Amino acid sequence: MTNAHSNWIAFKTIIIKEVLRFSRIWIQTILPPVITMGLYFVIFGGLIGARIGEMDGIRYMDFIVPGLIMMAVITNAYANVVSSFYSSKFQRHLEEMLVSPVPNYLIILGFMGGGICRGLAVGMAVTLVSLFFSPLSIHSPVVALSVVVLTAALFSLAGLINGIFARSFDDISIVPTFVLTPLTYLGGVFYSITLLPAFWQGVSMFNPILYMVNAFRYGFLGVTDFSLWLSYGIIIGFILALYGVALYLLNQGIGIRQ
């Protein structure tokens, strides 16, 4: 019981540290993505959407709202963990955490928790902004909430792995710029995959973000291009795989002792 209580205190401390870290500078962490998504609503939803009309029988503005919320959650969950973990390495206080009695799996869960909290905070803020452009309609609250939490967890782990390998502050921006952003834009945020030619539909099937956006859109609008079970399976599979990689890297000291 004493060990479990100590682990709980350590886990809670990491979570509080991570939440305070991004909430203290909310003007830099929460406000910019909200403004960016607001511009997407105005430009894509208001101006371009008025000419497109509908997508899959749904008003275009309503169609893109879930995708834009998910895009904000993905980028901010990732950014929170990669910047926090690398800063811990750079400032040399990560080593103190690793040599403490806190198990590595708990350290991973703590950073994950911080990433999830920031992702959800930004997602909620973007959702509030979307109310100025589209009425809030939630088809399945359970699906919407579970998908957004799992997605934030997945990209928190991805950010942690990026932070482990990063050797400079420039390294923490390479993956978001050259991998995460293209995958997000090609993840069905602004369109239905049924509009693509058969070849590009097949290529898109390898983009995991496509399944997350579609499952989240189902939670809001009740429409999806894929089976929910397939989407959940892919999301959970990636979480387990990335968690295993992160735990192995921490246990081996890769990117930390070198």
Alpha carbon distance 204, 202 (integer Å):
5
Residue listed under structure tokens 């000419």: 51
Can you give the pLDDT at residue 130?
A: 92
Are 112 and 150 in contact by the 8 Å Cβ rule? The answer is: no
> Higher-confidence residue: 196 or 18?
18
Instruction: Say if residue 2's pLDDT is above 80.
Output: no
* Nearest partner of 73 among 173, 218, 178, 184, judged by Cα: 184
Note the pLDDT tens digit of each residue in 137-174. Answer: 889 999 999 999 999 999 999 999 999 888 887 788 88
> What are the structure tokens assigned to 186, written together?
């090609």
The amino acid at residue 52 is I
Which CA distances in Å does 131 have to 24, 62, 217, 237? 26, 10, 16, 33
pTM listed for this prediction: 0.92
User: Using one digit for the tens of pLDDT, what is the confidence trace for 225-252?
Assistant: 888 999 999 999 999 999 999 999 998 8
User: Where do the DSSP E strands lie in 39-136?
Assistant: 54-55, 58-59
pLDDT digits (tens, 9 = 90+) for 27-64: 999 999 999 999 988 888 777 777 787 787 888 888 99
Q: Tokens 């293209």 map to which residue?
A: 182
The distance from CA 148 to its chain's CA centroid, rounded to whole angstroms, is 8
Q: What is the mean pLDDT of the chain?
A: 88
Angle at 33 between CA 209 and CA 119, to 5 degrees: 55
